[in-house]
Structure 1
Amino acid sequence: MSRSLRVHPESIDQVKLALKRNGYPRQKDLAEELQISLSTLNNYLNGRPVDNLNFQEISEKLGQDWKAIAFLDQESTPSNSNVNPDPWTPDLDQDESIPDVDYYVERPPIETTCYQTLLRPGALVRIKAPSLMGKTLLIARVLRKLVAQQGYQTVYINLHLANHADLANLNSLLKWFSFCVSESLGLANRLADYWYEGLS
């Protein structure tokens, strides 16, 4: 998912009306409540790009489905390619999503270290680097290798999709996380059977 989103041109009037319908007579009132700059809100309302998280927060506050009103430039996507049908998650299963060495610079022994670490039960790999350094490609390559050689199942969870209530405390976060994992793996939601509220 891109770092910024903008309101689809056909939805601009809709979001402007939603501002007043949701009790915000002035843009400044909503901007202050969300603790964002007035220019960010103005950009949102006029279909200019804003940060992904701001886009989602503003949309939620205005009672809008952010995925439905987001502008996705379909013209730039080749029609004959294998395009990920869900634009909100990366397509880590397609060979095309893992570019050749032209785009990805291998950094031995990082790849091997990540792979070996993820073979251990309960392992955690933290990858920290500036933007555009290949973190997503690194983990995608390692996960692909784990799937191919070890039969692992992988799940992509975008933490940007968690709402504020899900992030309010560890209990809520773990419930949300468990639900996302089971949903992605096609498992039945048995959270109520296994979650003991008395321990939280």
Structure 2
Amino acid sequence: MTPGPEIAIFVLAGGKSSRMGRDKGRVLLNGKPMIAHVLETLQELELPINIIANDASYEQFGYPVFRDVVKEKGPMGGMLTAFENTTADVVFLVSCDMPFITTEVAKILMKSASQDEIVAALVGERIHPLFALYPVELKKSVKDLISEGNLKMTDFILKNKHTLVPSGFWKSDGIFRNINTQQELNEAEEQWNYLK
């Protein structure tokens, strides 16, 4: 049996969220920074973990922190930063504002990992580009799109060879919830024990 591609995880910590009004990764949820919940889950996968952030304070979590190689290009710029800072075949890109993710779903997506195909979750008709696997060989394509100003992650997925893993392979679609506002944070606090 041939081994699968080498995978490295990169967590997008971004910066100040316009809707939250502060840095989402460090917002407290159930007594811990939101990114800490994400990192704890990802640790169980036993893969190299890295953080993409322009704030050195993220070094407190004990993983390598990389600054954006191109400024203000959103997740697409984050993906390029990951590609530029790994020797792996595939980057597992994860947003810091998805504290309900599970290793179960990560492993389901990783089973389809390929050196030439994007793998992302599909919930209903919604693709989740920030909990997805991207082949590093797409680096030139990402650079071209950034230079053209085309930063839509979903468009990028659909324009390239991809596998979309539909819901039904995991227990709850709630694991893909991301926290963008104070109200969503409050709701997440209330539902934490139920969803985790």
Category of TM-score, reference length = shorter chain: under 0.3
User: RCO greater where, 1 or 2, for CA within 8 Å and sep 6 or more?
Assistant: 2
TM-score (ref. length: structure 1)? 0.23
TM-score, normalising length: structure 2 = 0.24
